[in-house]
Every structure is written in C-alpha cells, then in structure tokens.
Amino acid sequence: MTQTKKNIAIIGSGLVGSLLALYLKKYGHEITVFDRRPDIRLVEFSGRSINLAMSNRGWKALREVGIEEEIRKIGIPLDKRCMHVIGKPEYHQKYGKEGEAIWSISRGVLNKKMIDLAEEAGVRFRFEEKVWDVDLPNAKVFTGESEKSEWKEYDFDLVFGCDGAFSRVRHKMQRRSRFNYSQDFIDVGYKELTIPANTDGTHKLDKNSFHIWPRGKFMFIAMPNLDGSFTCTLFMPFEGDISFESIKTKSDADHFFNTYFPNVQNDIENLIHDFFKNPTSAMVTMKCYPWTYWNKVALVGDSAHAIVPFYGQGMNAGFEDIYVLDQIIKEHGDDWETIFEVYQKERKPNADAIAELSYRNFIEMSSKTADPMFLLQKKIEKKFSSKYPDKWIPAYSRVTFSERPYAEALAYGDFQESIMKEIMKRPQIEQEWDSETVEKAMLEMLADKTI
C-alpha cells in the first residue's frame, strides 16, 4: 500500500530513533529528528568505547533497510563464551550451532554510522534541542533551553518517541487516564572499564569470545573492540559486603581485582583508574501501556520497554519494533490509527516477555548459580539438548538466534521448565542424572505435554 507524505518528528537520535528515521524516509516522508545531545559525530572521542551485542533480530531489521553488510564491517563475531572460573583453566562454551554468533559492536560507531546514513537519505537532524513537551492530539513538539525558558513550537502530523527509558514523550502520555506504568530498579549496578590493546594493537584475550568472570553475586564481562581493546562491565550490588559502596580506596580496588580476577592482573592499574573515574549506573525494567496515542504519537524502543541487559536484547528488541511496525505500515497504508493499534497489540506481549526473560537471567546469574540442584538441572538440559538439538532448543538460542516472537521463547521456556521440575523431583536424580532412564522420561514428557 502507498503512503501519503507526512511531516514526522522523531524524538531521540539514539540507535532506535536513527534506524526508524531511515525506515520512514523510504516512504518519502519529511523527517525531523530532535536530540538534546550534541551531534555525536562532532563530539571529541572520550577514549571510552562502549559496545553491545547485536543478534539475529537486530540484523534482520538492518537487512530490511539495506545496511546489514555495512554494519557487519564494524562488528566482531563472537561464537562462544569464554568462562574464567576461579581454580579452573579458561574454558569455552559455543553459543549455538556452527556459524551462529553474536556481534560485538561499538555503540558510538554504530550510532554515528546510522545518523550518517539517515542524513544521506535526506533526514533532518536537530541536535542540542531538547523536547520539553508534546501536544498529543495535535502532534506539536515544544523544544527549548530549559523547562522555564521560552519554547519553540513545531507542528507535525506524527510524533515518534524514541527518547529512551526516561522518555519525555511517555511522561506526557503518563498524565492521561488509564495509562499503565511501572518502573523497577534492581539492586545491582554496573560500571564500564577497559582492557587496552597490546602495544602492537592485538587483543589481550581471545577476540572472538564473550568473556565472563562469574563470581556469584557479582560478575565481570568483556567484549572486544576493533582497536584491540576490550570494553568490560562490572556488575555488582550497590550496597553490601562486596559492593560498589564497599570499595572506597585504591587499595580496596586493588585487593578486589587481585582476589577475584587474578587473570586480569596485568591490567589492574587501568581497571582501577577506570573504576574511580567512571560512573556507577543503575538498571531498570520499565513497562507501560498504551504505547500510542490516536493516530498521532507512538513510542518505540526503550521509551516503550526498558529491560535489564542480561540477555543483550534491549537494542535488538527496539530494532524488532521497527521491523514489525514497517510490516504493518506496508499492510495498512495511510491508516495510522490502525497501524498504531496493531503495532502496540503485537509488540506489547513480546516486550513483556523479553523483560521477564532478562530479569530471570539476572536472578539466575546472581543467585542460582551457587545452587547445586540448579547446576545439575542445567547439566541435564545441556546433555539432552546436545543429543536432541531439534527437541530441546535452549532458551538463549530461542532469544538470540531465532526470529520467532519473544513471547513464544518465554512460553517454550516455561514448558521446558515444567518438564525439568518433574525430572528434578526424582529421588535418585543426583545418581541417575546421566542415565538412559532420565533421558527416556524426558522424551516421554516431551511427547505427552503440550505448551
């Protein structure tokens, strides 16, 4: 179906806003993107590279708009986890089947590239222009220096809120009756640190692995950058025995890294420097509904659904929103009211599902990995899935390497969990976990049970 040209505002030039601009520009619309930040292409590089993992859903959305190959050039494929467990040599866990990988990509490089591509396509960007208010029924946008300063007023036909987890556009929708909203912070924070490249520019750790140092209540991860460095993230409780609060001095930090991360000792000076220089950030799950207002305003990406990052899916989910929205636009042409209605109904259950899966992964990593019965269950599942890969697809693969809806991944995960609950009830399970009897019981339950 064709589309009549519209004058469209996108609030936010982040990953989601700039990709949405590219998609909508294809239809010949007039697109203006507002961002409160300066143009990141002109900001001097701070030396800190923050990266994220792109997986199948993200790639699919980039492919549809013809930029997949260009973006692959700025990424590094990671086909396995490299586990750094105290008292054991490093070991690897393949992510999926042969050829399956997640990709480490610098957030800044990706965002700059997408803004470039959108600008080349004719999208207008207005940087350093913060949106303070939106007149929802009339699709008017108000920008200005501060909340109290004089505001500029712009008229649009449609407004998209891509302004992140603390969205101003959503804030305006929140004041309406029957708008549901919830926000939950977890008690764990994160800090980004760097492991620099070797002097010859090579990587200090295997560059095709996602490195994990699991330590129970806290965890350290590292993903490679193209320049040979690794961006690391330390996840740790804000308060408590071992926490951000408890590491106050250089010697506390020195002790902490030496005790828990002995194999990064050579980089300890750098890690400690970053530890005290970089901020500690919080993580939130944010849910809301509805996501749209009449045929005028829609939320896309983190503004509609912010999730904790333990599945590496926030951006991927935002990109999938855009892909799905585009399919609906193709079907309904100029009927924006229907487009928005179908979009929110289709995406909301999936956004809730990935929020739940991400939160569960956080709980699993932070509290269950010390439970021997939980570890035994994982061992049984792993063995079964490698023997019957078509019968037992692990949750991680269904989320990361599939394009099936997140809600399906969650429902299937619950189905597998119900089987495992029965298996783990067997009185002799600790002795017979590796036996044919257990395998047979699982096969029978798979045949009998339905989702």
Q: How far apart are CB 56 and ligand FAD at their closest, in Å?
A: 11
The first and second tokens of residue 286, run together, are 């944010």
Using CB under 6 A as the binding rule, whether residue 318 contacts ligand FAD is answered as yes
Residue 11 in contact with ligand FAD, rule: CB under 6 A = yes
For ligand FAD, which residue of 168, 211, 215, 332 counts as binding (CB under 6 A)? 168
Q: How far is the CB of 241 from ligand FAD (least distance, A)?
A: 23
Q: Taking the complex as a whole, how short is the minimal distance between the CB of residue 172 and ligand FAD, in angstroms?
A: 10
Q: How many helices (H) and strands (E) does the chain have?
A: 14, 21
Closest contact distance (angstroms) between CB of 5 and ligand FAD is 24
Strand pairing report for 158-161 and 7-11: parallel
Query: Where does 388-428 have alpha helices with state H?
Result: 395-400, 406-425
Q: Does 312 bind ligand FAD (CB under 6 A)?
A: yes
Compute the least distance from the CB of residue 87 to ligand FAD, in Å: 28
Alpha helices, H only, 207-335: 250-260, 268-277, 314-332
CA–CA separation, 123 and 345 (whole Å): 29
- Report in angstroms how near the CB of residue 193 gets to ligand FAD at its nearest: 12
- Does position 315 interact with ligand FAD (CB under 6 A)? The reply is yes
* Phi, psi angles (nearest 5°) of residue 123: -75, 140
Other residues' Cβ atoms within 10 Å of the Cβ of residue 400? 22
Q: How far apart are CA 431 and CA 408, in angstroms?
A: 33
In whole angstroms, the minimum distance from the beta carbon of 166 to ligand FAD comes to 7
DSSP state of 45: P
Whose Cβ is closer to ligand FAD: residue 312's or residue 413's?
312
Q: Which of 225, 231, 292, 316 binds ligand FAD (CB under 6 A)?
A: 316
CA distance 311 to 173: 28
- Tokens 């035994």 belong to 376
188 phi and psi angles, rounded to 5 deg:
-105, 140
Find the shortest distance in angstroms from Cβ 321 to ligand FAD. 9
Query: Which residue number, 164 or 394, has a Cβ lying nearer to ligand FAD?
Result: 164
Q: Which residue has the tokens 């961002």?
A: 35
What mask of x and - would describe binding to ligand FAD in positions 268 to 307, judged by CB under 6 A?
---------------------------------xx-----
What's the Cα-to-Cα distance from 211 to each of 69, 83, 90, 183, 398, rounded to whole Å? 25, 6, 10, 30, 21
Residues 6+ apart with CB under 8 A from 379: 433
Which of these ranges, 113-121, 159-167, 178-186, 376-384, lies near ligand FAD under the rule CB under 6 A?
Answer: 159-167
320 makes contact with ligand FAD (CB under 6 A): no
Cβ proximity to ligand FAD: between 75 and 309 the closer is: 309
What binding mask, one character per residue, do residues 118-157 give for ligand FAD by CB under 6 A, x or -? ------------xx--------------------------
Residues from 19 through 78 that contact ligand FAD (CB under 6 A): 34-37, 52-53
- How many angstroms separate the CA atoms of 193 and 48, rounded? 8
Contact 261, 220 (CB under 8 A): yes
For binding to ligand FAD (CB under 6 A), which residues are involved? 11-17, 34-37, 52-53, 130-131, 162-164, 168, 190, 233, 301-302, 309, 312-316, 318
